[in-house]
Amino acid sequence: MALPTWAAFIVLVTAVFLKVIVSRGHRRTYNLPPGPKPWPIIGNLNLLGVLPHRSIHKLSKRYGPLVHLQLGSLPVVIGSSVEMARFFLKTKDATFADRPRFAIAKYGAYDSSDIMWTQYGPYLREVRRICAAELLSAKRLESFEHIRGEEVRGMLRGLREASGHVVRLRGYLQMMTLGVISRMVLGKKYIQEEAAAEGGSPPVLTPAEFREMVDEFFVLHGVFNIGDFIPWLDWLDLQGYVRRMKRMNRKFHRFLDHVLDEHNRRRRLEGEDFVARDLVDVLLQLADDPNLEVQLSRDNVKAIIQDALLGGSDTSAVTIEWAISELIKNPKLLGKATEELDRVVGRERLVTERDLPALPYIEAILKETFRLHPVAPMLVPHLAREDARMDGYDIPAGTVAFINVWSIGRDPTLWDAPEEFRPERFIGSKIDVKGQDFELLPFGSGRRMCPGLSLGLKVTLLSIANLLHGFVWRLPDGMAVEELSMEEIFLLAVPRKNPLEAVAEPRLQSHLYMCD
């Protein structure tokens, strides 16, 4: 005999209630790391200011190098020391190899299928292998040296034409780095001014249109979307971030569809004579290979291309802008850099990549910029795949882990005068940026380390060296170096809050800036 509806409902509620009570009785008691007491519902979200890495730095000074936070319903730990970075990225690298499932990964990274946000497993290993072999191997990077040189020289020409006027350096840097990555990944520059469009055809996107897309991408990667931390509010999209993510994704869809369609047309036209010229060609060929261990969909291909384009362009531009800003603010250091360049390179030519090993002070400037202004101050978040234990504290599976490299770069037990820009600290130092020295981790370390390390170093070093060798840099008339603001803004890459505006006066012979 069937129970009445109301009776069935009471039985169901009672069963659920008893299950909760029983499960609580069997739930393991964890000894969590120290941290502030959470508020109901929001947890510790109220403690994250507009610059979360600085807010968390203050918390670590109070609670120690391993802090536990409750962000809504999401448990979070933050490591803020060399020892903690080594624990998460080396000792327990496999345990923390996953990523949290945030909205930006779903709506801004083709359902977490790019390198940054995908979960650790066969797909990620295959994609990293493809990029390492087809884009970032030592042989491939060497073959692209002429592209990096041409794009840097194009930037110098543009600055030479604007000599004597106040320029916003960021725009020149963004177009240069985008030019390098576009030609390496896509085979040509799809984003350019109408007058420069190849063959006289209109550009797919103007620089202004593309910048709007990229700026939105970096903004949305830096926001704290309330639905990620309080899931039962997700459907409301209270901040409107998910709507913006979907709109941004549609724009990238259209652009990348055009790129893929154009490459596929060439494949069809050339038939058996087709030879892959760039990463897009390689990915499309692999997507058609039924024997590939991990099959690639069209959206997978777009996710990988988007990752390569954006991850390799704006991050380098942000770093170079910080380096030039610090040197303008410290004229004596700027003088040391130009003295080294004049001694090693001379004033009869521009700097090439072959000069870089002989420029230790330029390398020290880059390392000091990485230390003081890490592009990703808390790295990309990791997710615990299983329970872990550190210094007597438990970190349960499902906990999100951040490594605050911004705090490590300001640790007075590691660095003398950590708030000061002192490139000399790296002269003769064995500390490198390749993921083995946990004092300096601009590219991360371990299984989720940024695969573009070698390319990033080549582009940033070559650019900084040529900007310093090719121009005398000064602030606009009437502005003292003490007035140069060094405020930052929290995005996926943390840039200057206000773009650097400066005057660049040529210091080499005019014909050098016109070289192709």
* Cβ atoms of 446 and 315 closer than 8 Å: no
**How many Å apart are CA 114 and CA 456, to the nearest integer?**
19
Contact status, residue 241 vs residue 225, Cβ threshold 8 Å: yes
Q: In the predicted model, is pLDDT for residue 332 greater than 90?
A: yes
pTM for this prediction? 0.91
**pLDDT tens per residue, range 29-65:** 999 999 999 999 999 999 999 999 999 999 999 999 9
Tell me: pLDDT of 16 over 60. no
pLDDT of 7 reads 39
Q: Is the pLDDT of residue 200 over 70?
A: no
Residue 368 has pLDDT above 50, yes or no: yes
How many secondary structure helices (H) and strands (E) does the chain include?
A: 18, 9
Q: What is the pLDDT of residue 208?
A: 82
What share of the chain has pLDDT > 70, as a percent? 92
Please report the pLDDT score of residue 199 as a whole number.
52
Task: Work out the average pLDDT over 93-108.
Answer: 96
Tell me what pLDDT residue 377 has: 96
Beta strands in 125-245 (DSSP E): 166-168
Span 428-444, mean pLDDT? 96
The token pair at 49 is 């200011």
Decide if 399 contacts 79 (C-beta within 8 A).
no
Average pLDDT of 210-229? 91
What would the mean pLDDT of 263-268 be, rounded to a whole number? 94
402 - beta bridge partners? 78
Work out the percent of the chain whose per-residue pLDDT is above 90.
83
Q: What is the Cα–Cα distance from 321 to 325, expressed in whole angstroms?
A: 6
Tell me how far apart the alpha carbons of residues 69 and 387 are, in angstroms, rounded to a whole number. 17
| Cα–Cα dist 68/66, whole Å | 7
pLDDT at 292: 83
pLDDT by residue (tens digit) across 104-133? 999 999 999 999 999 999 999 999 999 999
Tell me the C-alpha distance between 8 and 12, whole Å: 6
Higher pLDDT, 76 or 207: 76
How far apart (Å, rounded) are the C-alpha atoms in residues 435 and 379? 13
pLDDT on residue 201: 57
pLDDT (0 to 100) of residue 8: 39
Is the pLDDT confidence value at 202 over 90? no
List the beta bridge partners of residue 43.
39, 71
Question: In this predicted model, what pLDDT tens digit does every residue of 472-493 receive, in sequence order?
Answer: 999 999 899 999 999 999 988 8
| pLDDT for res 154 | 96
- Output the CA angle 444-450-454, nearest 5 degrees: 105
Q: What is the mean pLDDT of residues 265-282?
A: 92
Instruction: Work out the pLDDT band at 192, boundaries 50, 70, 90.
Output: low
Mean pLDDT of the region 488-508: 94
Check pLDDT > 90 for residue 335. Answer: yes
Question: Which three-class secondary structure string do you get for 457-516?
Answer: HHHHHHHHHHHHHHEEEECCCCCCHHHCCCCECCCCCCCECCCCEEEEEECCCHHHHHCC
Q: Report whether pLDDT(1) > 90.
A: no
3-class secondary structure for 369-420?
HHHHCCCCCCCCCEECCCCEEECCEEECCCCEEEECHHHHCCCCCCCCCCCC
Indicate the average pLDDT of the chain: 91
Four-residue CA torsion sign, 443, 137, 463, 169: negative
DSSP, collapsed to helix, strand or coil, labels residue 51 as coil
Give the integer Cα–Cα distance in Å for 494 and 486. Answer: 12
Tell whether the model's pLDDT for residue 424 goes beyond 60. yes
Question: In this structure, what token pair is assigned to residue 161?
Answer: 């034409």
pLDDT at position 18 over 50: no
Please compute, for residue 268, the number of CA atoms within 13 A of its CA located in the half-sphere on the CB side: 6
The pLDDT of residue 191 is 76
Q: How confident is the model at residue 9 (pLDDT cuts 50, 70, 90)?
A: very low
Residue 296 banded pLDDT, cuts 50, 70, 90: very high
Give the pLDDT confidence score for residue 190 in this predicted structure. Answer: 83
Q: Where are the domains of the chain?
A: 46-514
450 labelled ligand-binding: yes
The whole-number pLDDT of residue 438 equals: 98
Whole-number Cα distances in Å, 435 to 85, 412, 442? 10, 21, 8
Q: Which CATH number fits domain 46-514: 3.30.70.2740, 1.10.630.10, 3.20.20.70, 3.30.70.20?
A: 1.10.630.10
